[in-house]
Structure 1
Amino acid sequence: MSYRVGYLGPEATFTHMAVNRFFSDKTRIPYPTIPDCIDAAANGEIDFAVVPLENAIEGSVNITIDYLIHEQPLTIVGEITVPVRQHLLVHPNHAAVWKDVQAVYSHPHAIAQCHKFLNTHVKGVPTGDMTSTSAAAKYVKEHPEQVIAAIANEAAAQKYGLTIVQQDIHTHQNNHTKFIVLHNGQAEVLSNEQEPRVEKTTWMIMLPSDYAGALYQVLAAFAWRKLNLSKIESRPMKTGLGNYFFLIDVEGSYDNVLQHGVKMELEALGCSVTLLGNYPCYSL
């Protein structure tokens, strides 16, 4: 079956890299923003949407979480983790004088991931935020008269004909980004040539108001059943100060968790429990 896969563009971003490697035989369509990509999946323009969820250094991508919860409640059907390697790119005309760059452009997360290098090698040089690392590389390409640089990946350097003057400038070497695959409804199980690293179930849980010890009891429902929680994160409900929901990732299939009656126990405590997805997780 020929699926259409949307992703946070433009080309030569890390999202594009993840899509190319996982959906190499599918039609791939870039979208300028995360909401645009998610909306396209909700409206049936595409079959799957691939958007960033979390970076190992900078943490969660809040716009993805908030839009998924508050605007377009799609189903998570897969997770793809890719390594992130950030390089310093300049126009070939300025490769010999890269230390004299007048500005460095990139996505805010990429700039933050490379703060130690920037502070050491181009200290005091202003940075400029762009919508993506690829957009930063394109900007450098389009302004050859300026001695400026971009932080981006190797694919961006190749696409825009830039020179990599410093490789792997990210501060922490164990840098990875997780992307989630979204679908409007129940989709076929995602498959890849490699085996999934783990199967995961993600729940959104809202605690009952004014209930002392409610979070403790929620966690206990998983703990005494020896179910491993790989992530717990709180986000504001946007209904007033102090109102939060929790995202909980449980390793294992949804059927296995249900079999132990966790959902029934949580609802008996007065919690609202919503399944966001049960899906395979791949590391590329």
Structure 2
Amino acid sequence: MKRISVLGPGTFSEESAHHFLGAVPHQLIPCKLIADVFQAVVSGRADLGVIPIENTLEGSVSQHLDWLVHEVDLPIQAEWVYPITMNLIGRAGPLEGIREVLSHPVALGQCREFLRARLPRAEVIPVGSTSEGARQVRERASETGLAAIGSAASAALYGLDILAGHIEDHPDNATRFVLVGPEPLVLSRPGRSKTSLLVTLPADFPGALHQVLSVFARKQVNLVRIESRPTRKRLGNYFFFIDVDSPLSAQPMPEALAELDSLGCSVRVLGSYLSHGV
């Protein structure tokens, strides 16, 4: 049985993990913070960790990407996309009385329009996860005017009411999750081969990034995502996250990586894995 660390309990990470793993024997290990999810895998308390890394509305979750690069060396073993339905949860009562809304910053960002239109006077309080927001609302039972944004599962877990459903700003809201850990997870479900790379340029000069992209273009390798993040070494120095629509072992990927090496680029493979849709 695989031990899987997730933000939780009562989070979208937990919900999506159960959906994705399906019949695979697994035990979920709930963690309060994303750092705890990573550390559970590093310490051996968990075999794999579930990390949300990108959302339809908010884009990449920068803190989680930075953990993959700077704090741990855990390869990506799989990824999947899971639809997200946000709910305003709390104790039954008029919305006009809500003075604080607690949730994860990414969840809050997905519901900006609802908060602006329906709760313009409420203070927005970021917490470590959507479930943590719901937990705090329950624990502060003596206080009035508190609500959280999260899943229906977190409302049920903490004995709260759904005050408003489907409050996300866009109906096609979805989050991309990755499974990280030292060993692959064997799944019977089909998926698309994908490779994630971290590329560092040898120097900052006009056309440096163009050289890198041209290598993939000449080899006819499709790039499905590219994003820059600071290296933390000096201002203006960046890594480039590149997702490639190809397995690492299939030609012409080895040739492309060899050519990047000849250009003086540093290339770290973050994972070569199967990508699964909704």
Letter in 1 for 2:9: E
Identity value in percent: 35
**Other-structure match for 1:138:** 135
Q: Following superposition of structure 1 onto structure 2, how do residues 43-54 of structure 1 map, counting pairs within 5 Å?
A: 43-54=43-54
**Other-structure match for 2:201:** 207
The answer to whether the 8 A contact 1:77-1:190 is kept is no
Structure 1 residues 228, 101: closer, same or farther in 2, change over 3 A?
same
Provide the rounded CA distance (Å) in 2 between the counterparts of 1:271 and 1:280: 26
Provide the rounded CA distance (Å) in 2 between the counterparts of 1:159 and 1:210: 51
Provide the rounded CA distance (Å) in 1 between the counterparts of 2:110 and 2:204: 39
**Other-structure match for 2:121:** 124
Q: Following superposition of structure 1 onto structure 2, how do residues 94-173 of structure 1 map, counting pairs within 5 Å?
A: 94-95=92-93, 97-145=94-142, 146-173=144-171
User: SS of the residue aligned with 2:225?
Assistant: strand
Letter in 1 for 2:160: L
Letter in 2 for 1:6: S
**Other-structure match for 1:188:** 184
Shift, 1:175, TM fit: 1.1
Provide the rounded CA distance (Å) in 1 between the counterparts of 2:266 and 2:272: 18
Pair 1:268 & 2:262 matched: yes
**Other-structure match for 1:18:** 16
Q: Provide TM-score, normalisation by structure 1.
A: 0.91
Equivalent pairs counted in the alignment come to 275
Per-residue displacement from partner, 1:52-88 (whole Å, max 9, x unpaired)? 1111211212222212112211111111211111011
Per-residue displacement from partner, 1:218-247 (whole Å, max 9, x unpaired)? 101111222111110111111111211111
Structure 1 residues 252, 143: closer, same or farther in 2, change over 3 A?
same
Per-residue displacement from partner, 1:5-56 (whole Å, max 9, x unpaired)? 111x221111111122223530111122222221221232211111111112
**Other-structure match for 1:57:** 57
Provide the rounded CA distance (Å) in 2 between the counterparts of 1:144 and 1:67: 34
Structure 1: any 5+ residue segments left out of the alignment?
none
Shift, 1:259, TM fit: 5.1
Letter in 2 for 1:114: C
Pair 1:67 & 2:63 matched: no
Q: Provide TM-score, normalisation by structure 2.
A: 0.93
Structure 1 residues 189, 257: closer, same or farther in 2, change over 3 A?
farther
Structure 1 residues 68, 257: closer, same or farther in 2, change over 3 A?
farther
User: SS of the residue aligned with 2:249?
Assistant: helix
Structure 2: any 5+ residue segments left out of the alignment?
none
The answer to whether the 8 A contact 2:78-2:178 is kept is yes
Task: Provide the alpha-carbon RMSD of the alignment.
Answer: 1.7
Shift, 1:258, TM fit: 4.7
Structure 1 residues 103, 266: closer, same or farther in 2, change over 3 A?
same
The answer to whether the 8 A contact 2:221-2:252 is kept is no
Shift, 1:260, TM fit: 5.7
The answer to whether the 8 A contact 1:78-1:190 is kept is no
Per-residue displacement from partner, 1:139-180 (whole Å, max 9, x unpaired)? 222334413211111111111122112111111122111111
Provide the rounded CA distance (Å) in 2 between the counterparts of 1:40 and 1:258: 36
**Other-structure match for 1:235:** 229
Provide the rounded CA distance (Å) in 1 between the counterparts of 2:75 and 2:54: 17
Please identify runs of 4+ aligned residues in structure 1 that moved more than 4 A. Answer: 257-260
The answer to whether the 8 A contact 2:61-2:106 is kept is no
